[in-house]
Amino acid sequence: MTIGATMKGGARAVRCAAGVLLAMLLLGLSTAKGEEGDAFLQGNQYYERGQYDSAIMVYEALLASGQYNAEVYYNLGNAYYRAGQYPRAILNYERALKVSPRHEDARANLVLARTYVKDRLSVPEEWPIVRWAKGIPLWFTEVGWGWIGGVSVMLLAVVVLLFRFYVGRTWWLLVGAGGLLLLVVGLMSFFLSAHQHALMNLPESAIVMQSVVSVKSSPDAESKDLFLLHAGTKVKLRERIGEWWEVEIPDGARGWVEAKTIEGI
């Protein structure tokens, strides 16, 4: 067998393997998207008919199934807003922006919902480049990044086999560069998958959900009252001890609140 024929056979093998892996990826993603889309449309129909409580139930069920979608959070925020539950509307607009920092509709509605909050605290705006960088891990879901990482690793294995058994010296540099690129993509995808998992499950900020909350000097119900916060106010989470969170407001003031009085973004 000539070197040319061997190279062609190797190339066909790579194309075949890549095609199978791509088909697996698309099938998995399309099935998940189809199920999510049906429930999302049902929630939208409830919303359009003014059945906000039913829409809320559908959107909440979608999120409970792990579908961290900015549009679901946004529509859920709209449903809570229409139902007059402004703290929960704010919470879900914030979550929509966490998933998609460039979601301008969610940003505009968040500003509107905050007009119903009693506490007038100035929340600093992030630079657009910072919002863009924070949005990179959210280009795909946690599962999506895992799929990309898995496909990259399997393609890397194919490249290694080609490099070992099929490729002549003249192709070593090209195939080696391709293998290195796949390795980087695979490692970055697994890192971004883990990062997104942490991002969605370890909140950095929270919204006050109780109508009035007394912020304490220590994680003890008998400790000194420092100041009051009202429903809908955004706080930064600092430290948790038992059922208490140390929180910080934009002016730098800190104190402790019971975990049940706030909900993480």
Residue found under tokens 């898995």:
150
Domain segments of the chain as ranges: 3-26+140-200, 50-138, 205-264
Query: Nearest to residue 150, comparing CAs of 120, 116, 193?
Result: 193
Between 212 and 21, where is the model more confident? 212
Q: Is 9 a residue whose pLDDT tops 50? A: no
Q: Average model confidence (pLDDT) for the chain?
A: 79
Which pLDDT band, with edges at 50, 70 and 90, does 102 fall under?
confident
What is the percent of the chain with per-residue pLDDT over 90, rounded to a whole number?
45
CA distance 183 to 178: 9
Confidence (pLDDT) at 265 = 86
14 phi and psi, to 5 degrees?
-65, -45
Residues 135-149 pLDDT 10s: 666 666 656 666 677
Residues 154-176 pLDDT 10s: 777 776 766 666 655 666 666 66
* 200 close to 142: Cβ distance less than 8 angstroms: yes
Q: Which CATH architecture has domain 50-138?
A: Alpha Horseshoe (1.25)
Q: What is the DSSP letter of 124?
A: P
**pTM value > 0.85:** no
Residues 171-188 pLDDT 10s: 666 666 666 676 667 777
Q: What is the CATH number of domain 205-264?
A: 2.30.30.40
* 137 close to 249: Cβ distance less than 8 angstroms: no
Residues 236-260 pLDDT 10s: 999 999 999 999 998 889 999 999 9
Confidence (pLDDT) at 200 = 64
Residues 208-221 pLDDT 10s: 999 999 999 999 99
62 phi and psi, to 5 degrees?
-60, -45
The residue type found at 187 is L
CA distance 72 to 63: 8
* 54 close to 80: Cβ distance less than 8 angstroms: no
CA distance 213 to 229: 5
Partnered with residue 264 across adjacent β-strands are 206
